[in-house]
Every structure is written in structure tokens, then in C-alpha cells.
């Protein structure tokens, strides 16, 4: 525990601190960049791109070794990763466009073939003498071991560039995510915008390979915006909250994995991210599960209360146990089933409002107002005092006429 606190406070060594800061930055950018992948429903495509980085990483390593380098230069590996992910993305698009295969089949095929090829190359590299110390397997699930200052700077620089690009292109991206047809009619190049979104995700993917690993990086892109979606109804806020959630998960997750020996960084960050997601899912106001259960329950209670009151006013027997319970709890009915004074008053009012609504529906042209008749909306919410007085006059005329 104390080790975890130390790691959180960046006190558990230079390397751990570097990784923690790097992971936080990465989470921040991934959350922001992932927002549009999430809104455009492209999560699977970005997962395919992430898996497609592996052969590139391996080939880049082999090329660098072949030319006499030590093969571990992050820049070189990133270039390789970008090229092969780009090729993977192109193949997905090409297959979906020029064959009759659906896109998900194309994604599945590209993802597994590239990943499989990458694993073959990785196994081969590990038989090479230079390969054993390379630690390339860290690219699969991420590792905190041996992060260099230069690598943290790479993440920071790429992160700033991605954030800036996001800021500049947020409007076209929003428009394309919501309504691509309309976006096209205003002159936005939808394909180019999609490409820009994917490029942003790709930047995050390749700089995040070392920390989170290619298998799970898609979680960093998708879980934070999914988390943020519970808290807001605006795209700009979604980007900010997703960034914050991602940054938070990266920071805490990396600190956790630094504190506990042999813990893989990527999975821990993903699980931390998921914890935030689960909390939001359960407890977010309005969109959360708890809030929606509460809303549904109180709606049920309103329906039963109203029905019970109307039955009471008409002198009908009530058999529904839930209705009886609702009425008793509200003090409208005594335990023996006899209406209280308060209950009688409420029942009279309910019946009167029903009659008022009937008049309103017959006489009012205002469809919008009459359209709100659902048996539950109080009539005072829809009509003004004067209008209700008018309705009451009509009501008296009619009952007067009947006598």
C-alpha cells in the first residue's frame, strides 16, 4: 500500500515516475482522440490497426539490427509500427470497398493475419542473439521496465500535437460523426475527416505501444469516452471528460503496476479505466443505471397512485397490492383500506382533473398542449390559471345542462 502511495506521489524511483507521467499523458490524449472513434463507431477498426502494428515493430527491429544498430530505438520501431498499421487500415478499407465482404469480416481477417504474422516474427527475433535483450514482447502487453527519458518526451510531444489537431478539427469531426451526409453537403471532405480521426488514433496507438501494449490499446481509446458519455450531453465536454478519465486511469494504473512487482502495465491501466467506467455506469446522474432505476420506480409509483386515486374517487375496489401500498405509504389510505381525508381530497382532485382534461381535449386547438395528456401530467403544468378557470366554467355549464 505504502509503495502504491509512493508511486502515486512519484516517489518510487526515477523510472517509475517517468512511466507514471508518461501513462497519464498517454491516457489523456487517448481519451480525447478516442472520443471521435467512439462517436463514429470505429472502435473495431482502430483495434485492427493496433494489432497490425506488430509485424511493423518486428520488421523495423530486424532491419535496424541488420544495419548494425541495436534495434531498440523507439523512433525506428514507431516508424515501423505506423507503416504496418497504415497498411492494415488500407487493407480493411480496400476489402470492404472492392469486395462484397462486410467490413467486420475485413477487420477480423486483417487483425488476425497481421497479429499472427507479427507473433511469428517475434518468435523468430527471440532466437536471435540481439533479440533476447530487446524486450519486444513488452509491446504486446506493455511494460514499465526501462523507459527512457527520450521516450517520455516522445509521448509528450506526440500528445501535444494530437491535442492541438483535435482542437483545430473538432467541428468538422463533430459534424461528420453526427451527420455525415449533411457534413458532405456543407463541403466537408468526409473521407479525409475519417482519415484524420483514424490518424489521431494511430498516433496514440504507436506512442502508447511501449506502455500499454498493442493488444489493449483500443481500451484506452474507447473506455474513457464511453465513461464520459454518462456525464455529459455535449461533444466538447465529452472530449475533455474523456481526456480526464483517460489521464486519471493512466496515472493510477501505472502507479499501481509500479508498486506491485511483475504486474503488466497495460492490463492494470485498462482495469483502472474500467473501474471508472463501472462507477459511471452505476452512479452517473440521469444516464446511470441507479438513476434510471430510480426514475422508473418513481414513474411506476405515480401511475399506481393516480390509478388508485381515480378508483377511489369512483368507489371501485382496488386489488393491486402495489397500488394499495403506494396509497397507504402516501397517507391517502388507512391500513384497513378506508380512504383518509387527505386521500378523499386527492381523489376528488384527480377525478376533477380528468374531467377538465376531457374538456380541454374537446375545445383546445392547441395540439401541443393537449398532446401532453398522459394521465399523469398535472393540468396546472400545461394550462394557465385562467385557462383552467375557463375549462371549469365549461365543465359547470355541461353538468348544469345535464340536470
Partner 1 sequence: MIQAGVRALRRGAGLLWLARARSQPSTGAGALDACPLAISGLSVSYGEKPAIFSVDVEFPSGSLIAIVGPNGAGKSTLLKAALGIIPKLSGRVEVFGKSIDDARGNVAYVPQRASVDWDFPARVIDVVMMGLYRTMALFALFGSAERQRAMACLERVGMADFADRQIGQLSGGQQQRVFLARALAQDADLYLLDEPLAGVDAATERAIMDVLKGLREEGRTVVCVHHDLATVRDYFDQIVFVNVRKIASGPVEDVFTDENLQKTYGGRLAATHIDKLRVAAE
Give me the residues that bind partner 1 (CB under 8 A), please. 39, 164, 168-169, 171-172, 174-175, 177-179, 181-182, 184-189, 192-193, 196, 229, 232-235, 237-238, 367-368, 371
Q: Which of 138, 172 has the CB closer to partner 1?
A: 172
- Smallest distance from partner 1 to CB 187, Å: 4
Cβ distance to partner 1 smaller for residue 9 or 168 = 168
Gap between the Cα atoms of 371 and 373, Å rounded: 5
Report, in Å, the least distance between residue 171 CB and partner 1. 5
Give min distance, CB of 387 to partner 1, in A: 18
HSE on the CB side for 103, CA within 13 Å? 11
Q: Which residues contact 267 (CB under 8 A, 6 or more apart)?
A: 141, 142, 216
Closer to partner 1 by Cβ: residue 196 or 333: 196
The strand ranges marked E within 189-272 are: none
- Name which of 187, 354, 255 is nearest 11 in CA terms: 255
- Shortest approach of partner 1 to residue 44 CB, angstroms? 17
Q: Measuring CA to CA, how many Å separate 42 from each of 89, 315, 372?
A: 12, 59, 39
Q: Give the residue with the Cβ less far from partner 1, 146 or 371.
A: 371
Rounded to an integer, what distance in angstroms lies between the CA atom of residue 194 and that of residue 367? Answer: 43
By C-beta, is 336 or 381 nearer to partner 1? 381
Q: Is 339 helix (H, G, I), strand (E, B) or coil?
A: strand
**Residue 186 Cβ vs partner 1, minimum distance, rounded to whole Å:** 5
CB of 181 to partner 1, least distance (A): 5
Q: How many CB atoms lie within 10 A of CB 245?
A: 24
d(CA 364, CA 380): 15
**Of 144 and 280, which CB lies nearer to partner 1 in the complex structure?**
280
Closest CA to 208 of 155, 249, 156, 168: 155
Q: Please give the Cα distance from 319 to 164 (Å, whole number).
A: 64
Identify whether the C-beta of residue 249 lies closer than 8 Å to the C-beta of residue 269.
yes
Judged by CB, which is closer to partner 1: 196, or 209? 196
Q: How far is the CB of 365 from partner 1 (least distance, A)?
A: 9
Amino acid at each position: 500500500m505504502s509503495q502504491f502511495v509512493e508511486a502515486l506521489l512519484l516517489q518510487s524511483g526515477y523510472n517509475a515516475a517517468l512511466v507514471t507521467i508518461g501513462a497519464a499523458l498517454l491516457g489523456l490524449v487517448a481519451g480525447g482522440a478516442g472520443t471521435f472513434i467512439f462517436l463514429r463507431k470505429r472502435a473495431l477498426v482502430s483495434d485492427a490497426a493496433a494489432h497490425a502494428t506488430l509485424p511493423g515493430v518486428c520488421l523495423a527491429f530486424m532491419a535496424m539490427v541488420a544495419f548494425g544498430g541495436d534495434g531498440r530505438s523507439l523512433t525506428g520501431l514507431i516508424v515501423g509500427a505506423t507503416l504496418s498499421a497504415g497498411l492494415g487500415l488500407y487493407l480493411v478499407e480496400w476489402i470492404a470497398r472492392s469486395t462484397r465482404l462486410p467490413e467486420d469480416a475485413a477487420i477480423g481477417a486483417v487483425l488476425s493475419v497481421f497479429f499472427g504474422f507479427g507473433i511469428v516474427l517475434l518468435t523468430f527475433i527471440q532466437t536471435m542473439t540481439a533479440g533476447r535483450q530487446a524486450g519486444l514482447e513488452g509491446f504486446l502487453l506493455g511494460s514499465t521496465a526501462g523507459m527512457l527519458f527520450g521516450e517520455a518526451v516522445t509521448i509528450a510531444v506526440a500528445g501535444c500535437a494530437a491535442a492541438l489537431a483535435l482542437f483545430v478539427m473538432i467541428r468538422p469531426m463533430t459534424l461528420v460523426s453526427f451527420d455525415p451526409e449533411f457534413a458532405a453537403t456543407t463541403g466537408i471532405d468526409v473521407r479525409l475527416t475519417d482519415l484524420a480521426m483514424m490518424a489521431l488514433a494511430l498516433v496514440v496507438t504507436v506512442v502508447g505501444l511501449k506502455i500499454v501494449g498493442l493488444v489493449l490499446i483500443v481500451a484506452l481509446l474507447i473506455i474513457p469516452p464511453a465513461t464520459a458519455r454518462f456525464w455529459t450531453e455535449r461533444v466538447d465536454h465529452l472530449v475533455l471528460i474523456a481526456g480526464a478519465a483517460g489521464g486519471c486511469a493512466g496515472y493510477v494504473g501505472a502507479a499501481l503496476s509500479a508498486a506491485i512487482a511483475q504486474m503488466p502495465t497495460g492490463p492494470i491501466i485498462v482495469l483502472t479505466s474500467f473501474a471508472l467506467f463501472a462507477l459511471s455506469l452505476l452512479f452517473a446522474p440521469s444516464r446511470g443505471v441507479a438513476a434510471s432505476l430510480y426514475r422508473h420506480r418513481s414513474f411506476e409509483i405515480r401511475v399506481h397512485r393516480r390509478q388508485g386515486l381515480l378508483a377511489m374517487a369512483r368507489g371501485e375496489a382496488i386489488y393491486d397490492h402495489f397500488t394499495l401500498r403506494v396509497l397507504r405509504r402516501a397517507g391517502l389510505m388507512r391500513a384497513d383500506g378506508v380512504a383518509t381525508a387527505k386521500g378523499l381530497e386527492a381523489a376528488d382532485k384527480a377525478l376533477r382533473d380528468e374531467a377538465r382534461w376531457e374538456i380541454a381535449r374537446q375545445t383546445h386547438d392547441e395540439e401541443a398542449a393537449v398532446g401532453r395528456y398522459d394521465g399523469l401530467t398535472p393540468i396546472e403544468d400545461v394550462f394557465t390559471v385562467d385557462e383552467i378557470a375557463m375549462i371549469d366554467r365549461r365543465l359547470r355549464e355541461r353538468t348544469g345542462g345535464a340536470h
